[in-house]
Homo-oligomer: A and B are copies of this chain.
Amino acid sequence: MQVEDFLKLCAVRVDGALETSLASCTEAPSELLAAIRYSLKAGGKRLRPALVLSACGLACGDDTPALPGACALEMIHTYSLIHDDLPAMDNDDLRRGQPTSHKMFGEAAAILAGDALLTLAFQEISRSGNIDAVRELALASGAEGMVGGQYLDMQAEGRTITLDELRRIHAGKTGALITASLRIGALLGKAPQSMLSSLTLYGQHLGLLFQITDDILDVVGDSAVLGKSIGKDQKSGKATYPALMGLSRARALADKTADTALKALQDFGQEADVFRDIAAFLLHRNH
């Protein structure tokens, strides 16, 4: 199966589970649920849930125990986009060609929809009955992980930063959640420690690869394929890999990072091909 078909298949399953989760919130105000649903359904590659499911599948041959974890990761990712788009943050009116949450529902509703989604993620992952998975999700998405990265990113605006600072921002902002996807899937599949370590290493490099190629696409991508305008980073003076090291060295770093991600999988046979395919997909992606 092509990796894009695999991602689509994961997306269908996760979307179903997300809808089940929302439908069970019978005591929630319906307009608040509508705002949450709007952002959850706005599309995206569902890369994080696919990593959760695949890691669990690798660990125990069955990915169904990881479905609550997959939903939780997508909920955290989605809340972070809602809050990121707010006027006080990136002030974006459009995401994936659609009006952002605060443009659709107002700023207060967008703040609360994000807060509710973040909270629902922990309700969802608690269904797994695995307290280690809860702790992992909190660590990766909080002040020492994703929120910390967003804070550093905000602080870096309008000033020149070093490659080391850029790496730290992204390790938090995108890396932590991608690595956590693999670790949570592995935990829910009761993976042995060695497998958990390999997937962690793979995840750290996959997260970096994701960010480098994201930055490159902002320079060379096709806005119609991407569903967003390109050149935005450059215009806003945002630090990116191509800006800090030039396009060709950024491409070489992407190649090298994909290589390191693959090396982390060297103890596994073809049962880990899905992870190799995902790395190749991110390296060569055009959206």
Contact = CB atoms under 8 A, between A and B. Distances in A.
Nearest to A80: B115
A221 B120 CA distance: 37
Nearest to A142: B119
A28 B144 contact: yes
Contacts of A27: 144-145, 148
A108 B31 contact: no
Query: How many copies, total?
Result: 2
A168 to B, nearest CB: 9
A39 to B, nearest CB: 13
A142 B123 contact: yes
A36 interface: yes
Contacts of A33: 143
Interface stretch (A48-56, A149-157, A212-220, A259-267): A149-157
A135 B134 CA distance: 10
A112 B151 contact: yes
A88 interface: yes
Contact of A143 (B28, B131, B154): B28
Nearest to A107: B88
A244 interface: no
Interface of A: 25-29, 31-33, 36, 83, 86, 88-89, 106-109, 111-112, 114-116, 118-120, 122-123, 126-127, 129-131, 134-135, 137-139, 141-145, 147-148, 150-152, 154-155
21 contacts: A27-B144, A27-B145, A29-B151, A29-B152, A32-B143, A36-B143, A86-B111, A88-B107, A88-B111, A112-B147, A112-B150, A112-B151, A114-B115, A115-B147, A116-B147, A116-B148, A119-B138, A119-B142, A120-B142, A122-B137, A134-B134
Given A83-B115, A88-B111, A123-B142, 9 more contacts: A25-B142, A25-B143, A29-B155, A31-B151, A83-B111, A109-B151, A119-B138, A120-B143, A130-B131
